[in-house]
Structure 1
Amino acid sequence: MSSRDLDRAGITDPEMRASYERCRELNAQHGKTYYLATLLLPPAKRPYVHALYGFARYADEIVDDLASTLSDEQKADWLRSWGEQFFADLRRGASDDPVCKAVVDTVQRWDIPVEHFEAFLHSMTMDLTITEYATYDDLYEYVYGSAAVIGLQMVPILEPSAPEAYERAKDLGVAFQLANFVRDVGEDLDRGRVYLPLDDLARFGVTRADLEKRMLTPSIRSALEFQIARVRALEEESRAGIALLHPSSQPCIEAARILYCGIVDAVEEIDYEVFTRRATVSQRRRLAVALPAWNQARRARRKYGEGHPHGLHSPASA
């Protein structure tokens, strides 16, 4: 992260700056599309979004990294202990954790509800014990905490003009996660998980055992088409919410919408061969979206300003 971003955000304490930089690194390493979109925000907003994504990536990656060394019960204990310390840090308004220090600061500055983090850690715990979901409603409990709340956490930073922006942010977060599930069917099977609702599969005559054969069939193709239609419906619902954000925030979220929901376009382009190939949004496509969005972001900042540069509250210690 450039020093300019931290300076513009009013983050001056060296340890705090180091924590925000660690979050930026996590976002850049594990969320390339999200990271690219974040660069379209006003510089003063970027550190806070990096902090939220850094927190989510850190928790998710740590749970996966522990897979080879700890039992599910031990991983759940570790996650519970880490979460309890994080919530204790939120209550006291400060943290010594190299990642959570910036997250606590972000929560304070933007009045982000604690329950969003509770829901996120609940979903991380679900991933340790649940390997399939019978219905979409069952899956939604997981997706709400793993994806929808990330959008809800971000909305205050993006400065909405109406409450509806929160509902539409949930839609977009869920669309992102479901697009991931379509792309990653094979990789998720490697981890012993299926994130396509079993009753959705059943309506096309597909079982988990069929997926585990890792051979694309007409029935599996139809099941994937059904999931892609759900992604696109949620994406369409989300678009009204983007218009409710501060103008300087809109190009970032619009670019993220196009690129991340574009994953399902990439699945179609590889003819649904999700067991043998990984669908990716091409570099050319990324640039074709990012460059116009960058120009739009600059024009919006000149015309409308950058919103609150330091958050709704600016802790004196920062």
Structure 2
Amino acid sequence: MSEALMQHATQTIEVGSKSFAAAAKLFDAETRRGVLMLYAWCRHCDDVVDGQELGFVPAASAPAPHDAARELALLRDQTRRAYAGEAMRDPAFAAFQEVALKHGIEPRYAYDHLAGFAMDVEQARYETIEDTLRYCYHVAGVVGLMMASIMGTRDPAVLDRACDLGLAFQLTNIARDIVDDAQIGRCYLPAAWLREAGIPQDEIALPRHRAALAKVAARLVDHAEPYYDSACAGLAALPLRSAWAIATARLVYRQIGIVVKRRGPHAWDERAGTGKLTKLWLLLRGGLDALSSRIRTTMTPRPARLWSRPAADSAVAVAPAGGAAGGRHAVRATAV
């Protein structure tokens, strides 16, 4: 069963995220297993709520009606049962149970992540960048917190940096996927920014707005930069191989934002990404960043202007039973 779970998790990440699959190989065996198990659960939850398979709508001549709220309610219940130690038949939840119990992942992180899906199902609107960052926390920042737990991190200051990296990843993902999201009726950009750019929210995907949209995307990419910088300060607290993997992932995701910004109005002609040679170069740079982090004696203060994750006593931890549900970008923090 143990090897079957690992095989399932490995296949899931190789299909769902080639970039993160490459970075994950840098972890030591135990950490890699935990990271892949967590990814499999995140990917599964995302797909179940959206009625997809590994991010794609399954081919079917007559797809069955999809009730996202009901699906998320079931995911919440399965999560509760996983933490209770009940036998899990679903491979993704068996994987999650193993990693959550072994590494002491706090239940509130898992429920906070599931709460992010509700923001999509309820068609939440994001008026300000702070509203967008709150969404980013639920679907990506909290994934950083769970991954940090797998790497043995419990220091709140280091957890803040792990959350910052998730926020940066998600801001990059939103910039890359603006048009794709708009075509399915979703928008994570601050409405205030769109108004300033003169783009009606129901016209985001229209080609005539590409020049203005490129400026909004560039603004979002720039907004991610201080979070990428903040995350770098947390590398010193991680084991060396984990630091290398995270440093590499940080550089790969950041490069995607650079590509989006460089392409300007053509950013959405094809999906922005990084080629094999670029990934190899960034892997080497990530190794240097990990090594250089070893010589730091203290962590630089986190800038006060950055958005901060909810405190333990005020986090939006969804109760295991009941409530509304939904989501799409849940694994975008690990799915580029």
The normalised TM-score by structure 2 is 0.77
Q: Secondary structure at the match of 1:277?
A: coil
Deviates most, 239-248 or 259-268: 239-248
1-side partners of 2:5 and 2:24: how far apart? 17
Structure 1 position 172, deviation (Å): 0.5
Contact kept in structure 2, 1:182 and 1:264, CA below 8 Å? yes
2-side partners of 1:184 and 1:284: how far apart? 23
Contact kept in structure 1, 2:143 and 2:166, CA below 8 Å? yes
Structure 1 residues 201 and 97: alpha-carbon distance in aligned structure 2, compared to 1, 3 A threshold: same
Contact kept in structure 2, 1:134 and 1:197, CA below 8 Å? yes
Q: Once superposed, what is the RMSD of the aligned Cα atoms?
A: 2.5
- 1:188-234, CA deviations, whole angstroms, 9 ceiling, x for partnerless residues? 11211111111122233333144132334543232222111111121
Contact kept in structure 2, 1:148 and 1:169, CA below 8 Å? yes
Contact kept in structure 2, 1:76 and 1:128, CA below 8 Å? yes
Contact kept in structure 2, 1:169 and 1:241, CA below 8 Å? yes
Q: 2:214 aligned to 208, 212, 221, which one?
A: 221
Q: 2:42 aligned to 31, 48, 56, which one?
A: 56
Q: How many residues align?
A: 285
2-side partners of 1:282 and 1:152: how far apart? 28
2-side partners of 1:215 and 1:50: how far apart? 41
Q: 2:9 aligned to 3, 23, 33, which one?
A: 23
- Unaligned 5+ segments in structure 2 are 294-336
2-side partners of 1:219 and 1:54: how far apart? 37
Aligned amino acid, residue 21 of structure 1: Q
Higher RCO (C-alpha under 8 Å, 6+ residues apart): 2
For the pair 1:143 / 2:129, whether they are aligned, the reply is no
Contact kept in structure 2, 1:161 and 1:244, CA below 8 Å? no
Structure 1 residues 272 and 239: alpha-carbon distance in aligned structure 2, compared to 1, 3 A threshold: farther
Report sequence identity in percent.
25
2-side partners of 1:272 and 1:61: how far apart? 30
For the pair 1:244 / 2:214, whether they are aligned, the reply is no
- 1:70-123, CA deviations, whole angstroms, 9 ceiling, x for partnerless residues? 556x22102211320221121125422211112111111111101111011111
Structure 1 residues 228 and 246: alpha-carbon distance in aligned structure 2, compared to 1, 3 A threshold: same
Aligned amino acid, residue 40 of structure 1: L
Q: Secondary structure at the match of 2:272?
A: coil
Q: 1:170 aligned to 145, 154, 163, which one?
A: 163
Aligned amino acid, residue 17 of structure 2: G
- 1:223-266, CA deviations, whole angstroms, 9 ceiling, x for partnerless residues? 22211111112111111112221223110000000001211111
2-side partners of 1:259 and 1:93: how far apart? 38
Q: 1:208 aligned to 201, 204, 222, which one?
A: 201
Structure 1 position 124, deviation (Å): 1.6
2-side partners of 1:269 and 1:202: how far apart? 23
1-side partners of 2:13 and 2:155: how far apart? 28
